Amino acid sequence: MKNPIEHLNKVFDSRIRLGIMSALMVNAEVNFNDLKELIQVTDGNLASHLKTLEENGYMKVQKGFIGRKTNTTYSITKAGEKAFKTHLDALEKMIRSIE
């Protein structure tokens, strides 16, 4: 039997990154402030996790403006969706194998 652990994605080890990905899975786009409120983390902390996800190609950033204020929104990429689903499947397999 293949070891399901190898499919668990290291990037999603962090609760914050997992939270970001979950929110992006069900929303076409989410802005920085909504994410901050949902996950309840500081600006710097959230920004660094967002950067990790972006560098892995799981998430893309759109910078826009509402009036004069910057409005940065984030959305999931195809690769991110695939990686997240693989991660979920691996979680499910691990739980099943123990039952």
Partner 1 sequence: MNTTEQNLEALRDIRSMMERSSRFISLSGWSGISAGTCALIGAWFAIKRINSYYGNEYDYSTACPSCLKNDLITIATFVFIGAFITATLFTFLKSRKEGVAIWGSAARRLLWNTLLPMLTGGFLLWRMMELKEYQLIAPGCLIFYGLALVNGSKYSIGEVRYLGYAEILTGIVALWTVRSGIYYWAFGFGILHIVYGVAMWWKYERSS
Measure the CA–CA gap between 12 and 9, rounded to whole angstroms. Answer: 6
Binding mask 25-54 for partner 1 (x = CB under 8 A): xxx--xx--x--xxx---------------
Q: Check if the beta carbon of residue 76 is closer than 8 Å to that of residue 58.
A: yes
Stated length of the chain: 99
Binding mask 68-97 for partner 1 (x = CB under 8 A): --------------------x--x--xx--
Q: To the nearest whole angstrom, how small is the minimum distance from the Cβ of residue 74 to partner 1?
A: 12
Measure the CA–CA gap between 44 and 47, rounded to whole angstroms. Answer: 5
Q: Check if the beta carbon of residue 60 is closer than 8 Å to that of residue 74.
A: yes
Binding residues (CB under 8 A) for partner 1: these are 15, 18-19, 22-23, 25-27, 30-31, 34, 37-39, 88, 91, 94-95, 98
